[in-house]
Amino acid sequence: MRRSRSKPTLLIAGLLTGLMLAIAAVPLLAQPVGVPAYDISKEVTLSGTVASVLQKAAPGMTWGSHLLIETATGRVDASLGRWGLEGKNAPSIMPGQQVEVTGMMKTLKGKEIFVTRSVKVNGKVYTMRDAHGMAISPQSRKRAAEKGESL
């Protein structure tokens, strides 16, 4: 005698199979969206004069705003991230100003860049990224300023 499976049983089996595949795929896709492998223990602080301020990346650069800084050891491309110079509580930086940037050097898209976590200009420190290298949005900076907190 041949048994046939009912439609609800096939539906449940299909849903469970789909759920199992989704569960298995999540760890594979759960990569951080920020800068790959940002290591706070490798941070350094560089000082220099701002040679150029780029609100948007030039062709061939990583996405976001950049400062080109003249340091004692040469010119450094300091990436400020997607929202580095945007929003009410963003730094106002002009060529010729002295800045201190804290972050780490990385090779991205075949080029050396300084992944900036914070910028100090005119005696004030602005946080561009969190300790994991994730860019901080203008809304987060605004909320922190309203609460009197620093990021």
Q: The pTM is what?
A: 0.70
Half-sphere exposure of residue 14, counting CA atoms within 13 Å on the CB side? 7
pLDDT tens figures, 27-51: 544 444 545 578 889 999 999 999 9
d(CA 108, CA 39): 15
pLDDT digits (tens, 9 = 90+) for 74-104: 999 999 988 888 888 889 999 999 999 999 9
Higher pLDDT, residue 118 or 62: 118
CATH 2.40.50.140 fits 40-147, yes or no: yes
Determine contact, residues 120/97, Cβ cutoff 8 Å.
Answer: no
